[in-house]
Amino acid sequence: MQKLTKREDQIMQLIWQSDGMFIRDIVERLPHPKPHYNTVATIVKILVKKGFLTSEKLGNVDRYNAVVSMEAYRKEDISNIKKKYFDNSFSKMMAHFAKQEQLTDEEIQELIAIIKSKKV
């Protein structure tokens, strides 16, 4: 799966939160300064080519829906980060985040409980 650019990710976040969108809806929901309609249309067409979106013709306009779920993309993206920055080690990655985030004792206990619940 290809990596999303910052703007592509921003658009996908909107589409993942909806049940399909038109270009005008995407433009309306993007933060200021809003990109031009044609810019958004071009990015959406790129997302279709990359296989992230599909289009459905409704009258004279296209409605875009996600083909790749947020969960599938997140899983792939996190896996790539783990491989690239943490020698493919989950424990190294978690140790990094635990140090960076300055987790509270409560958060640490919550993580331990989640990890223990996943053991067979």
pLDDT tens-digit readout, 69-103: 999 999 999 999 999 999 999 888 888 888 888 88
Q: Which residues contact 3 (CB under 8 A, 6 or more apart)?
A: 77, 80
More confident residue, 67 or 97: 67
| Residue 54 backbone zone (phi > 0: left; psi -120 to 50: alpha; other: beta) | beta
Rg from Cα positions in the chain = 19
The answer to whether the peptide bond before residue 35 is cis (omega within 30 degrees of 0) is: no
Give the chain's mean pLDDT: 91
- What is the domain range of residue 13? 6-66
Q: List the beta bridge partners of residue 55.
A: 64
Q: State whether 54 and 76 are in the same domain.
A: no
Residue 1 lies inside a defined structural domain of this protein? no
40 and 79 share one domain: no
Contact 44, 11 (CB under 8 A): yes
Indicate whether 10 and 62 sit together in one domain: yes
CATH classification at residue 41: 1.10.10.10
pLDDT reported for residue 84: 93
pTM metric for this prediction:
0.78
Q: Are residues 110 and 59 in the same domain?
A: no
pLDDT at position 104 over 70: yes
Q: Are residues 22 and 51 both part of a single domain?
A: yes
Residues 53 and 84 placed together within one structural domain of the fold: no
End-to-end CA distance of the chain: 30
Using a pLDDT cut of 70, give the percent of the chain over it: 98
Distance CA 96, CA 34 (A): 36
Per the structure, the count of domains in the chain is 2
Mean pLDDT of 97-112: 84
Site of tokens 């992230």: 52
Whether the pLDDT of residue 119 is over 80: the answer is no
What is the structure's pLDDT at 120?
Answer: 45
For residue 21, give the DSSP letter.
B
